[in-house]
Structure formats: C-alpha cells, structure tokens
Amino acid sequence: MVRIKLKVGPKGQIVIPKMLRESYGIKEGNFIIIELKDEGLMIKNIAEPSKIFRRIIEWKRKVRGKPAKLGELKHVGLEDEFE
C-alpha cells in the first residue's frame, strides 16, 4: 500500500499530487466522489459520460440480450448510470 502525507489547508482543502491526478485522469473542473468508509475517506474519479456509454455498449455486446446473472452487476455504480 502506498501512503502519501498531505497537508490540509485552512479551508479543509488538500492538493492531490500531479502524478496521481494524471494516473487517475483527474483534471481541473472534473467532479469526484468521496465515499465514507470505516477506515477513512475514499476519493473516486467520476468517469466521463462518453466512457460510460462505451462501457455500456461493450457490456451489451458481451451479453447479447442474455439476462444478467446474480452478482454480475455488483461493480456498476449508480453514479455512472445516471451521469
């Protein structure tokens, strides 16, 4: 596990290091999601709508009209579906 120590600014702001922003596709003006976990906070990038549509189209081609199996969609976030 990689740990990076960040300083919290006067308004509660933190700066995500450039190498992490680039690695995870976080750009100025993007929105992110903060999830509350027992261990702390999790910061997640929200995928661009065009990427979400591509994933849905790829999934539809893969399934080809077959009904989804139990647990198959557990990794699909509602935020992605409604972007």
48-50-51 Cα angle (round to 5): 70
Task: Quickly list H helices, the chain.
Answer: 18-24, 49-63, 78-81
In this structure, are 5 and 40 located in the same domain? yes
Task: State the total domains in the chain.
Answer: 2
In this structure, are 6 and 33 located in the same domain? yes
pLDDT of the chain, 83 residues: tens digit per residue: 788 899 999 999 999 999 998 888 888 888 888 999 999 999 988 877 777 777 778 877 777 766 666 666 666 665 655 54
- Domain range holding 52? 47-83
